[in-house]
């Protein structure tokens, strides 16, 4: 899949699943961006789910676990802290 197609697919997934993802505990934002691995940005387009604090899966309720991908688009969970409007 080329970059343009990956971006379109991720944008569609964001529109389709943003409300569901935002309903999960600790999620403060959902966007399309580049996946991070080991703290470094890659060139892989992903659905970026921003959370206040990353927690181990065993500390989350089952309904608050995030999928690894949606509609073939990888999910990248990124810790951002609390986001507030100024």
* Mean per-residue pLDDT, 66-79: 95
**pLDDT tens digits, one per residue of 43-59:** 999 999 999 999 999 99
pLDDT at residue 85 above 80? no
Closest CA to 21 of 13, 30, 12: 30
pLDDT at residue 67 above 90? yes
Write the DSSP assignment of 23-57 as a string of letters. Answer: TSTTEEEEEEEEEEETTEEEEEEEEEEEESS---G
**pLDDT tens digits, one per residue of 18-47:** 999 999 999 999 999 999 998 899 999 999
| Mean of all residue pLDDT scores within the chain | 92
């Amino acid at each position: 899949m080329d970059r343009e197609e990956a971006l379109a697919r991720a944008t569609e997934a964001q529109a389709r699943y943003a409300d569901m993802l935002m309903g999960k505990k600790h999620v403060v934002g959902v966007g399309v961006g580049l996946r991070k691995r080991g703290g470094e940005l890659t060139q892989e387009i992903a659905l970026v789910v921003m959370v206040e604090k990353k927690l181990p899966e065993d500390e989350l309720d089952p309904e608050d676990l995030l999928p690894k991908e949606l509609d073939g688009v990888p999910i990248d969970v990124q810790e951002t802290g609390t986001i507030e409007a100024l």
